[in-house]
Amino acid sequence: MEFIQNEEPDVEKPIIIAAMQDMGNVGNIVVNFINESLGTKIFRTAKTSFPTYVIDKGGYIDLPDEEWEYRCTEDLVVFGGGKGQPQSNDELNALCQDVIDVAKKYSAKFIYTLGGFHTNRIFGNSPKTYITTTSRELTKHMEGLDVETTPQRSIITGFNGLILGFAKKNEIQGIGMYGELNEPEIPQYRSAISIIKTLEKLTYRKFGDTSQLEIRAKDIERKFKN
């Protein structure tokens, strides 16, 4: 994994939102929405050293441009989005550690991550967002904020789970937010909206108008109904 520092951001004690593409593309949708809505600026880039796949363009192949961006604005650092995740444990661990190193460099006190929560519950147009945290004490602190914790024990794989483990190991508080979805293969805009609303509640800040995400959700629903 290669890390390129494009410039030095003017941030101090930011919160960090870090998520990568996962089920229903939820992590990607939320990260892209925040970056577009807040006009964040790139200050660091992570690139995989080896391709995890090739693209067949019909008779010849091309290499994917796999990279992930660190962006910032005021007291916020946003990492992730992009396409896919590193496929090797070594690269995934290196990426998680780099997020932690960035958090320490700028004295970040909190890391939020997010993704999809696969469920068989029929929730219509109102998926729930479940949270889990890096400590029992932090989860107890969430009780008065009208949020629901993950309903059962489970293993959270990939970056959007592992980053919480790295945060805990480095004594940085972290919260994972996972939006319900029934169809992991389809972009889940309503799950993303649910997560954004939960994130606004937990951070006491606004991330933007989600009406365009509502429109995309309806387009997807229409397409797959037909």
- Total number of domains in the chain: 1
The region, left, alpha or beta by phi > 0 then psi within -120 to 50, assigned to residue 100 is: alpha
Q: Which of 56, 116, 54, 44 is nearest to 87 (CA)?
A: 54
φ, ψ for residue 14, nearest 5 deg: -80, 165
Domain encompassing residue 47 = 2-225
CA distances from 79 to 137, 190, 201, 216 (A): 26, 21, 20, 23
pLDDT per residue as tens digits for the range 81-140: 877 888 788 999 999 999 999 999 999 989 999 999 998 888 888 999 999 999 999 999
Three-state SS sequence of 156-183: CCCHHHHHHHHHHHCCCEEEEEEEEECC
pLDDT at 212: 95
pTM for this predicted structure: 0.91
pLDDT at 226: 60
Q: Helices 159-169 and 89-105 meet at what angle, rounded to 10?
A: 50
Q: Is 2 helix (H, G, I), strand (E, B) or coil?
A: strand
Residues 47-62 have a mean pLDDT of 85
CATH number of the domain to which 20 belongs:
3.40.50.10900
**Token couple for 210:** 């989600």
What average pLDDT does the structure give for the chain? Answer: 91
Q: pLDDT-based confidence at 200, cuts 50/70/90?
A: very high
